[in-house]
Structure 1
Amino acid sequence: MRRWHRAFEGQAPRAHAAFLVSLGIGADEIAAIRAWSSEPDPQTPD
């Protein structure tokens, strides 16, 4: 699931945010999901 969120956030951040809102997730949780989704994947080398 984390990989999916990372990919979605990386490719379409506005759509990712809209999707999270459509699920009825609160603003604080959306901010948290988007924050860790924007971080580099520790399992993927640079």
Structure 2
Amino acid sequence: MTKLCSAILVPLMIGMFTVITTIQESRRSQLQRDAEMMKIEQQAQL
């Protein structure tokens, strides 16, 4: 039973880590794009 749980738990944890990391990277990229757009808009107003 323990081997079965660990056999299921390890891939599940790796999958969760992958999904969470992907979401965080996506949010970080979006924030960077937003910041760059704000900077471009501010420069255009000068």
Give TM-score scaled by structure 1 length. 0.34
Give TM-score scaled by structure 2 length. 0.34
Higher-Rg structure is 2
Higher helix fraction (1 or 2): 2
